[in-house]
Amino acid sequence: MNPINEPKFKDKDFLINHIQSVMDFYHPSCIDSKNGGFYQHFKDDGTIYDSKTKHLVSSTRFVFNYSMASIHLKNDEYYDFVKHGVDFLREFHLNKETGAYSWILENNEVKDSTNYCYGFAFVLLAYSVAFKAGLQEAKEYIEETYQLMEEYFWEEDFSLYSDEISNDWNVVSTYRGQNANMHSCEALIAAYEVTNEKKYIDRALLIAESICIRQAEKADGLIWEHYDSNWEVDWTFNKDKPDDLFRPWGFQVGHLTEWSKLLLILERHVNKDWLLPRAIELFEDAVEMGWDEKNQGLFYGFAPNGDICDRDKYFWVQAETFAAAAILANRTKVDKYWDWYERIWKFSWENMIDHKYGAWFRILDSKNNKYDKLKSPAGKTDYHTMGACYEALNTIK
C-alpha cells in the first residue's frame, strides 16, 4: 500500500473508525440467536466455518468487545448483546453447582470441562466491562468470580494463581504459568476501575510484582512463561511447541510489551516507583529482541540464548506493543515511543489488516505472508486489536 494513503495513526477519529471497522466484520454475523452466545470461527471473508464449537475465551472476549463498543461507539444495539453474551456464560459455560466454567462447548454440550485460570481471568474481565457498560447484575458476578479464583486458584505462598484444575476442583495440575496471571492482573485492574474496591487493585499489584520482579529474577530480568508447582522455571515445557496457542515455548515478545502496558495502567492507580522503570525495561527488551529489521513487524518468540525461536508475526503481538508504546510515549514524553507506535501501525496497516473484508489477519510468516484463510479460530475475536486502540485513545489529546 502506498504510504501516501496511510491514515494518521495518532488521530482519534482514525482509531474510532478502525474499531468500528473491526466490529463491522463480526457484527451482526457473530450473533447466534438460535443457541445463544456467539459464533466464533470465521474465514477471512467472514464465512463461518464452525457453528458448533464455543470456547470460553472467545465467549468472554465477545462480551468485552460489545461492552467497550457500546461505550465508545455510542451504540445502544451493541449493549443488547452484552447481556446476550453474559447470559450465555451463565447458562452454558457456568456449572451453577460447582462454580466451574467449561473450557469448550460443542452444540452447547460440555466438550472440555477443565477449569483454567486463564479462562476465569477472562470471565472476570467480561463481567467487569459488562458492568462498566451498564449491566447492573454483572457487579455481583465480579465478586463471585473473584471469590472462586481466591478459593481454588490462589496460592498464598507464592502470591500467584495456579493454572489448571479438574472440573470437580479436586486435581490441581503441577503446571504453573505466567500467562494466566498476567490476564488475571488485567481483569483485576478492570474490576477495580468499575467497583473502586481496593482488594482488586491490591491483588493486581501483588501479581505484577511477583511476575515482573521475583519471577523475572530467575530469567535474567525477562519473563519466562512456564514453571513447576514451586514456581521454579521450567525451561523445557513445550520446547517442541514454540507456537502452542496458549502455552508457547520461549520468551514471548508480546507478553513483555503486554506487561509493560499493564504496569503503566497500574501506575495510574498506585504509587510505586518501580512500575515505570520496569515497564520501560520490558518494552525495550521486547522491541530489541523481537523487531524484524528485514521485513518489519515483531516476531513471536525468542529462546533463552536470544535466537528467534518463532519467526511468525501474530496480530496480537503488534497490537499490544503499539498500545504499550502509546502509553509509554504519553507517560514519559519521549518521542521514540511515538516512533515505535507509528512504525508498528505502519507495518500492521500494510500487512496485518484486511482492507477488503475487515479485521486483522491472525498470523503471518516471517516474510509477511498468510498461512491460511482462517481469520478467527478459537480465542481470536480481535479483542487485542480493539483493546489496543482503546488504550491509544486514552493517550491521544
* Per-residue cell: 231: 514456581
Q: Which of 72, 84, 255, 355 is catalytic?
A: 255
The SS3 assignment for 397 reads coil
The 3-state DSSP composition of the chain as helix, strand, coil percent (nearest 5) reads: 50, 15, 35
User: Is 269 labeled as catalytic in the residue annotation?
Assistant: no
Buried-exposed string 105-130: b where 16+ CB fall within 10 A, e elsewhere: beebeeeebbbbbbbbbbbbbbbbbb
- Identify whether 255 is a catalytic site residue: yes
Q: Which residue type occupies 153? A: F
C-alpha to C-alpha distance for 313 and 299, rounded to whole angstroms: 5
Q: What is the DSSP letter of 3?
A: G
Alpha helix segments (H runs only) across 103-252: 117-133, 138-152, 178-195, 198-209
Number of other residues whose CB lies within 10 A of the CB of residue 304: 14
DSSP-assigned letters across all residues of 191-215: HHHHH--HHHHHHHHHHHHIIIIII
Contact indicator for 309, 301 with CB cutoff of 8 Å = yes
CA–CA distance, 160 with 333 (Å, rounded to integer): 33
Mind telling me the catalytic residues? 255, 384
